């Protein structure tokens, strides 16, 4: 809310301003009133208003004198709006030349005053944006030069003056990584600056620079030397906790060691970078160079057996098995202090194997979109938890896709089997003999056939044979046992029983019924 001060010797004018304008809609509030310029000047120094609405003619100190007096005050640049009577028009013109925003004649028109106030608000907003932009650009340039070691010895005092560094100051570089994985949500530098601002006080400052999307550099400044190691660790953990809570996202914080000179800042920065390479090997999200400097990072060979076990459990649809393999794999990453490059290499090796299986089954990369995206990521903005959960989700998608490919393969196979049955149903065939012919398990073939055609194999074969038997009974004079043999029945009595069950007539009754219908039709 912008702060407004009303200055007028007529009380009814000040009261009218309260009722005339919808201050909330303008995001403004009246913080005070004064009946003359002298009272107003004292209030301005104390309240520091953004906008001052003042009359020209007032006792003791008039409007123009008030404007002159305020111009001499340091760090104060309020916007002035003059309200005046008709006869004060020349005074108002002079005030405009002094930089007053606008003047309005009495009696005040609410629409005119509202429009003028809106212009004032826009002017203040634009001015503040330019100031903020200039400060940010200056801060970015200073920090960039310090990190890269581009500050000349003779210029160090100027940098120190701008940042408020003195002979007792301690400096520390830290890196902030926004760990959002595949999530597109990002934290911008304004949000981060707003969050770190809550951590600052008279003795501790934080300067922020954005290095790349999701990665920021922090220069921590203490106005005291000899920070105890435990106190420093607690400070960094507190920064990490506050940023996580305020930004609502996982944070990785990687810190170098404190230095006392601007020229040593690059050294602290390189230590922070080294600490970041241990992010998968350490718990808690805060990694300090002082704690990992003597711990080696390892890059292990990925044994093909591990990948084969993962792929086999995936092909079998054994979700609990491949979940356990992944859990074990990620515990190994941390226990054996895998570098980020080693972790990425291990995952890509597994992903490549899974893509190869999908291609062999006639699939493509599009059906494994999550794995494909994961393989294309640099994994810089990840922690182990995010990486593991995303990998597991991608594997579940892959499981479903491989199952679909297997189903399509099976569907193609079952179509071939159906065509074989349609061509050989009059022969002595069975589920067992066909399964042997197509190198399949009879039980599996029976399930596959039922799933594909919503009909048991034996029922389908029986219906085929009965339909052909009906045709032979209508079109030939073959005896019943001959018809049975023609359509694949080895036993004529069994044929008659099955025929009656489906047609509700015996073969002889069916033939006689057909012949009787024909004779009646001939008459």
The CATH number of the domain where 437 resides is what?
A: 1.10.10.60
Residues 60 and 90 in one domain: yes
What is the pLDDT, as a whole number, of residue 103? 78
29 belongs to a structural domain:
yes
Whether the predicted pLDDT of 6 surpasses 70:
yes
Distance CA(518)–CA(515), nearest Å, equals 5
User: Among the three residues 243, 269, 292, which one is the final residue of a domain in this structure?
Assistant: 292
What is the pLDDT, as a whole number, of residue 133? 45
Residue 46 vs residue 444, higher pLDDT:
46
Residues 86 and 109 in one domain: yes
Whether the predicted pLDDT of 34 surpasses 80:
yes
Whether the predicted pLDDT of 161 surpasses 60:
yes
Residues 104 and 13 in one domain: yes
- Which tens digits make up the pLDDT trace of 188-223? 888 898 999 899 888 889 999 888 888 999 999 987
CB 438 within 8 A of CB 414: no
Residue 351 vs residue 316, higher pLDDT:
351
Residues 52 and 169 in one domain: no
Alpha helices in 182-228 (DSSP H): 189-197
Residues 439 and 504 in one domain: yes
Sign of CA dihedral 58, 63, 65, 71: positive
The CATH number of the domain where 215 resides is what?
A: 3.30.70.270
Distance CA(445)–CA(451), nearest Å, equals 10
247-253 mean pLDDT: 91
3-class DSSP state of 105: strand
Residue from 137, 136, 177 nearest 272 by CA: 177
CB 338 within 8 A of CB 300: yes
Residues 8 and 119 in one domain: yes
Residues 319 and 261 in one domain: no
154 belongs to a structural domain:
no
273 belongs to a structural domain:
yes
The residue whose two tokens read 């990002």 is: 186
What is the pLDDT, as a whole number, of residue 184? 46
Tokens for 289? Answer: 């160079």
140 belongs to a structural domain:
no
* Chain centroid offset of residue 323 CA: 23
CB 252 within 8 A of CB 288: no
Distance CA(213)–CA(391), nearest Å, equals 22
Residue from 420, 422, 515, 415 nearest 465 by CA: 422
CB 289 within 8 A of CB 277: no
420 belongs to a structural domain:
no
473 belongs to a structural domain:
yes
Residues 284 and 366 in one domain: no
- Which tens digits make up the pLDDT trace of 430-482? 999 998 888 778 887 888 888 778 889 999 999 999 999 999 999 999 999 99
Domain holding 440, by residue range, is: 425-522
Q: First and final CA of the chain: distance in angstroms?
A: 105
Give the pLDDT band of residue 305 (cuts 50, 70, 90): low
Residues 274 and 165 in one domain: yes
Distance CA(165)–CA(149), nearest Å, equals 17
226 belongs to a structural domain:
yes
Of 16-25, 178-187, 192-201, 233-242, the range with the lowest mean pLDDT is: 178-187
The CATH number of the domain where 52 resides is what?
A: 3.40.50.2300
What is the pLDDT, as a whole number, of residue 20? 87
Q: Which residues pair with 30 in a beta bridge?
A: 4
Alpha helices in 63-202 (DSSP H): 63-71, 89-97, 110-148, 156-163, 189-197
The residue whose two tokens read 């409007």 is: 63
Residues 260 and 213 in one domain: yes
402 belongs to a structural domain:
yes
Residues 42 and 110 in one domain: yes
- Number of residues assigned to the chain: 523
Residues 340 and 391 in one domain: yes
User: Among the three residues 127, 148, 172, which one is the final residue of a domain in this structure?
Assistant: 127
Angle at 337 between CA 333 and CA 342, to 5 degrees: 65
Distance CA(223)–CA(169), nearest Å, equals 4
494-517 mean pLDDT: 90
Sort 412 into a burial class: Cβ within 10 Å, 0-12 / 13-18 / 19+. Answer: exposed
pTM: 0.55
User: Among the three residues 240, 270, 292, which one is the final residue of a domain in this structure?
Assistant: 292
Tokens for 507? Answer: 């073969």
Instruction: Name the domain count of the chain.
Output: 4
């Amino acid at each position: 809310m912008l702060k407004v001060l009303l200055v007028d010797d007529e009380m009814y004018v000040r009261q009218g301003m309260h009722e005339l304008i919808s201050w909330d809609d303008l995001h403004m509030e009246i913080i005070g009133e004064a009946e003359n310029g002298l009272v107003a000047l004292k209030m301005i120094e104390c309240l520091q208003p953004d906008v001052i609405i003042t009359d020209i003619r007032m006792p003791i100190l008039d409007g123009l004198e008030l404007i002159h007096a305020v111009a001499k005050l340091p760090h104060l640049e309020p916007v002035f709006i003059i309200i005046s009577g008709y006869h004060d028009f020349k005074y108002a013109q002079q005030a405009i030349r002094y930089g007053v925003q606008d003047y309005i004649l009495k009696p005040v028109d609410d629409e005119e005053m509202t429009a003028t106030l809106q212009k004032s608000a826009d002017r203040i907003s634009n001015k503040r944006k330019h100031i903020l932009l200039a400060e940010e650009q200056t801060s970015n340039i200073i920090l960039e030069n310090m990190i890269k070691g581009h500050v000349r010895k003779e210029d160090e005092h100027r940098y120190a003056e701008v940042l408020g560094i003195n002979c007792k100051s301690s400096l520390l570089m830290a890196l902030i990584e926004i760990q959002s994985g595949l999530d597109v949500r990002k934290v911008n530098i304004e949000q981060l600056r707003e969050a770190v601002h809550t951590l600052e006080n008279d003795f501790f400052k934080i300067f922020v620079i954005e290095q790349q999307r999701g990665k920021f550099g922090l220069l921590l400044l203490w106005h005291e030397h000899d920070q105890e190691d435990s106190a420093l660790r607690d400070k960094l953990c507190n920064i990490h906790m506050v940023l996580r809570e305020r930004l609502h996202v996982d944070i990785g914080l990687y810190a170098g060691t404190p230095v006392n000179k601007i020229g040593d800042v690059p050294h602290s920065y390189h230590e922070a970078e080294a600490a970041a390479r241990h992010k998968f090997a350490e718990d808690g999200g805060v990694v300090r160079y002082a704690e990992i400097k003597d711990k080696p990072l390892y890059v292990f060979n990925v044994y093909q057996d591990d990948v084969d076990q993962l792929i086999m459990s995936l092909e079998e649809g054994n979700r609990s098995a491949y979940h356990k393999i992944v859990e074990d794999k990620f515990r190994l990453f941390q226990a054996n202090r895998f570098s980020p490059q080693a972790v990425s290499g291990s995952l890509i090796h597994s992903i490549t194997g899974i893509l190869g299986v999908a291609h062999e089954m006639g699939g493509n990369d599009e059906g494994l979109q999550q794995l494909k995206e994961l393989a294309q990521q640099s994994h810089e903005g990840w922690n182990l938890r995010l990486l593991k959960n995303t990998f597991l989700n991608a594997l579940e998608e892959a499981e479903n896709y491989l199952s679909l490919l297997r189903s399509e393969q099976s569907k193609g196979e079952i179509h071939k089997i159906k065509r074989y049955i349609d061509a050989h149903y009059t022969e002595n065939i069975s589920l067992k003999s066909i399964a042997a012919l197509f190198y399949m398990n009879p039980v599996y073939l029976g399930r596959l056939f039922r799933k594909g055609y919503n009909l048991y194999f034996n029922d389908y074969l029986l219906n085929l044979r009965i339909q052909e038997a009906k045709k032979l009974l209508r079109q030939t004079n073959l005896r019943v046992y001959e018809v049975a043999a023609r359509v694949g029945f080895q036993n004529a009595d069994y044929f008659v029983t099955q025929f009656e069950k489906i047609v509700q007539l015996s073969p002889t009754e069916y033939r006689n019924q057909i012949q009787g219908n024909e004779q009646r039709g001939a008459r």
